[in-house]
Structure 1
Amino acid sequence: MVDLKKSVGRRLAFFLFVLGAFLIIVNIYGLSQSLRPTELQIPITKEEFFKETRILTGESDLNWARRMTFLVHIGIKHFWDTTHPEKTNISLPIWENWLIFLFAKIYPQYQLYEFFRKDKIVERGLGLCSQHAILLSAILRDKGMSPAIIGLNGHVVVGLDEGAGMVLDPDYGVVIPYSIAEIQKKPKIIADFYTQKASRVLRSIYQDSYTLCPRGSRDYQPRRSQLEPVFYSLKWLIPILLCIPYLLLITFSKKLKHLL
């Protein structure tokens, strides 16, 4: 009976080792892959994007924030294919994060994945207005500013109260030098900043109620924004832990044979 238990335990440890080794290989393979779909022809690379986030000599905070709005507009293509999301990595492949890949099989909200990490957003280079706003908010916050994500009824923008209030819309590449409260009082003022077609669509959206998220992603998507770094840590930690029992078993077996 003791030998049987040892045999079962050894086989289980070996199975966990193989599983852990497989996941580590998947993770290593993922390091050589890019999330960016080449067919979308995004005009700026990830490296070029982050190089442009540097503050220029003599550039004020507000001018830098305006430039970042245009940068996000150029660097993140407005695209979200729900028909074949795996083709453009909107559904994350197993090599990017096997944990999120598995979660997507169980929880529908992970099937069309929106990132919160700046590097991953820029690497993939696509998203809806919310992805644009999440990225811009994070860039501004890293430089000590206090942007808020503003969830409108059908659109997402960024509010900035540094100095005079302004609304930044990186999805359209638009900077409105008025606060969201001022726009709500006079929604016609957006016509001076958007195209005529966009203005017609967005005027009613700006008039409607909105949700203010002063801490950015932490308020906009609190659970998912906090889980993402956990997923990216665990995708390495879990496979390593799976490998340890079998490695320890081999080590102690060799030491025991040596003593005998």
Structure 2
Amino acid sequence: MSALLNTHAKKILLVAGILLLGVNITGFFISLKNPDVYIEEKGLFKNDVLLSDEQFFSIVDQGLTNRKTYARKLNEAVNLAIVHYWGDSGTHKYNFRIPFYENFILFSLGYLIPDLFGKWELFDYKKAVERSVGLCSQHAIIISQILKEKNIPAKMVGLEGHVVVTAQVDQKKDEWWILDGDYGVVIEHNIDKIEKQPEIVRPFYQRKGYDSPTIQVLVDIYGKEGNSVSKLNRHYPERYYFETLSYMLKWIIPFGLMAPYVRRREAKAH
């Protein structure tokens, strides 16, 4: 009787493994992007997404001849590819909660622990661009990851209510700029200088056409109090590594479920 139950259990695990494997494969053919992102009116900024994925990556994949030029182009591209929106109504519509076909582990945790996983910022920048929705931190994550891929030193800068990136734009002079992908602004100063003189950010936001009240808020949050500067994997250590682990496990688990039945068949064959 126990042997029969054991056989049935292995068959059930086999079917579960096959189904999960099928879901994973299906996920390759389903985009995280909802086309409505191009006309979304609830975002913080009007006409926020103007670049398609193809246009974005054509900019990102350009040769790196000058760090300053590349940093400007990258910052602008991220600004035009990601809508600043994170409202509850978009949780399902824009896949803030990772869908089952994309990663069944993150999907399940989105319901089991909604406070932590209900809305998930993506650390895989290609998937983040594909989804095309997020807060300032998602913009910063994308910029940081692409700069890392290009071997350009960069760090996340957590301000009081905003997140930007600081990047080394001149290696010889050790010159660092601030890249604000959310607002589409490049500040040609390092964070240490800005924290001491936050007013120096004002003209950079003015050139982008932001109004005085908005700029004043930004000037205030660039002050030193509450700021943190760290590499991406240290800025969000648990989430950064867990996402990588979950994308490995989503393939390991299905094969692990199928393994007992396969081993049984092999044992019978011998």
Is the TM value for this pair above 0.5? yes
Relative to structure 1, the CA distance from residue 56 to residue 84 in structure 2 (aligned partners, 3 Å threshold; closer, same or farther) is closer
C-alpha contact 1:44 1:74 (8 A) present in aligned 2: yes
- How far apart, in 1, do the equivalents of 2:267 and 2:52 lie? 50
CA distance in 2, matches of 1:184, 1:52: 31
Corresponding residue number in structure 1 for 2:66: 60
Match of 1:191 in 2: 202
Higher Cα Rg, which structure: 1
Matches within 5 A, 1:61-210: 61-107=67-113, 108-163=115-170, 164-194=175-205, 195-196=210-211, 197-207=213-223, 208-210=225-227
Distance in 2, Cα, partners of 1:64 & 1:105: 40
Provide the residue aligned with 1:232 in structure 2. 247
When the two chains are superposed, the root-mean-square deviation of aligned CA atoms in Å is: 1.6
CA contact (8 A) 2:51 2:77 kept: no
Query: Which consecutive unaligned segments of at least 5 residues does structure 2 have?
Result: 39-48
CA distance in 1, matches of 2:67, 2:168: 12
| Counterpart contact for 1:81–1:90, Cα < 8 Å | no
Identity value in percent? 33
Matched residue count: 249
Q: Give per-residue Cα distances to partners, 1:127-160, cap 9 Å, x unaligned.
A: 1000000110111111111111000010000112
Aligned to 2:45: none
2:120 match: secondary structure: coil
The letter of the residue matching 1:114 is: E
Stretches of structure 1 lacking an aligned partner (at least 5 in a row): none
Query: Partner of 1:20 in structure 2?
Result: 17
Indicate how the Cα distance of structure 1 residues 27 and 56 shifts in structure 2: closer, same or farther if over 3 A, else same.
closer
Alignment check: 8 A CA contact 2:27 2:102 kept: yes
SS of residue matched to 2:178:
strand
Q: Distance in 1 between matches of 2:140 and 2:71?
A: 13
Counterparts of 1:130 and 1:87, CA distance in 2: 20
Q: Secondary structure at the match of 1:193?
A: helix
